[in-house]
Amino acid sequence: MIKRLLIMLLIVGLIFGGIFGFINFKTKMIKQYMAGMGNAPQTVSTMTANYAEWSPSTETIASLTAVRGADLSAEVSGMVTEIFFQQGDEVAAGTPLVQLRADDDIARLNGLKAEQELARLTYQRNQAQLAAKAVSQQTIDNDKATLAKLTANVAEQQSVVNKKLIRAPFTGRLGIRLVDTGQYLNAGTAIVTLQALDALYVDFYLPQQMLAKVAIGQTVHLKVDAYPERDFVATVAVINPKVDTSTRNVQIRAKLDNAKHQLLSGMYATVNLATDAAQRLLTLPNTAISFNSYGSTVFLIETDKDKKLTAKQVFVTTGATRGDQVSVIKGLKEGDTVVTSGQIKLRNGSPVIINNTLQPNNNVAPQVTDN
């Protein structure tokens, strides 16, 4: 019995010895493999740190509005009898657009003019008789008052007739027609929009702490989706003297020359406003910087005593950002070769191979594209 027990213990010992021996062997092999990997050159991309002109700025969204624009409507009610314009026409100020039926009003106007003419003749005749003392001064005064009253009535009725013909109040481009001949219009019903597109207002908001950074006459740069490659320039024209109490923002209005009528009222744009003088700063793609809780770092490329390329990790202090770029205030000097991708595989002293076939994005103003 004891002999069998010893044999079983021996077998168990051999099994566990084999297992632990295999584990130690695998661990040793892994360590050797990792050590070999640590010494294997890592492929990275790099760029040289250089100074760039950096203009501190702020971006926001703006709305474009025509300097002169209105949805035209009639002041009085009436039936549309004629439409004189074509949709999309460029019209001058005073151009007739729509005629409302005015027959009754014109007839009344003619009646009032006849009464006015009779009152004028009576007044002139009695003035002649006053010289011969055939009428009293009171009669002359009554005639004069009657003529004045009828003249006012004629002017009032003429105004009513005039309102039945809707004219363009200013020069501009007409939009889509909203009425048809024979349609009855109530006062205030929209007929067509008229927009003067030679100049546009650019309206946007800035937080109140930015007030010291903006001034009348300051240049504003705009980007719109319709023309992604164009840079439109406007000039600050008005700073609202009141801050919105709910948002603590102040409205800014710039004026934009739009002689080619490329931009339309109601469009939105991305506004870029310079907030300080231009500076020269070292810049890197944001992918080159590792942002950690203990600080931001980059890897520099150095040449060791064997003239092999190695990586060196250094701490840097970053500043403002713009697009894909980050400014570096401290820890870097002009001419340093910085790893821009592949640094996740690196540690201090790691040998590297440089391959700059592909580089990360480094755009000042990247554009979103639909794939």
The predicted-structure confidence for 260-312, as pLDDT tens digits, reads as follows: 999 999 999 999 888 766 678 888 888 888 888 888 998 998 887 777 888 88
Let me know if 76 is exposed, middle or buried by CB neighbors in 10 A (0-12, 13-18, 19+).
middle
pLDDT of residue 4: 64
Strand partners, 69: 195
Strand partners, 309: 303
Place of tokens 């919105």: 244
Do the beta carbons of residue 338 and residue 289 sit within 8 Å?
no
Average per-residue pLDDT for the chain: 86
- Asked if residue 351 has pLDDT above 80, the reply is yes
Tell me the pLDDT tens digit for each residue of 155-167.
999 999 999 999 9
For the chain, percent helix, then strand, then coil, each to nearest 5?
A: 30, 40, 30
pLDDT of residue 33: 47
Strand partners, 167: 96
- Asked if residue 371 has pLDDT above 50, the reply is no
Cβ within 8 Å of residue 103, ≥6 positions away:
none
Q: List helix spans (H) across 98-187.
A: 103-131, 137-163
Rg (CA), the chain: 42
Instruction: Return the closest-CA partner of residue 223 out of 364, 361, 326.
Output: 364
- What is d(CA 285, CA 325) in angstroms, rounded to the nearest whole number? 5
- Asked if residue 22 has pLDDT above 60, the reply is no
Instruction: Return the closest-CA partner of residue 213 out of 247, 246, 252, 257.
Output: 252
- What is d(CA 197, CA 67) in angstroms, rounded to the nearest whole number? 7
User: Side by side, which strands form the sheet with 165-167?
Assistant: 165-167, 96-100, 78-83, 184-185
Give the three-class secondary structure for 146. Answer: helix
Using alpha carbons, list the distances in angstroms from residue 239 to 5, 208, 215, 274. Answer: 99, 11, 8, 16
- What is d(CA 365, CA 321) in angstroms, rounded to the nearest whole number? 11
Find how far residue 99's CA is from the centre of its chain. Answer: 40
Q: DSSP characters for 172-184?
A: EEE------TT-E
Domains of the chain: 41-54+279-354 (2.40.420.20), 58-67+196-274 (2.40.30.170), 102-163 (1.10.287)
Tell me the pLDDT tens digit for each residue of 171-228.
999 999 999 999 999 999 999 999 999 999 999 999 998 888 899 999 999 999 999 8
- Asked if residue 37 has pLDDT above 70, the reply is no
Q: Determine the longest span between alpha carbons in the chain, in angstroms.
A: 170
The pLDDT-based confidence of 11 (bands split at 50, 70, 90) is low
How many residues are there in the chain?
Answer: 371
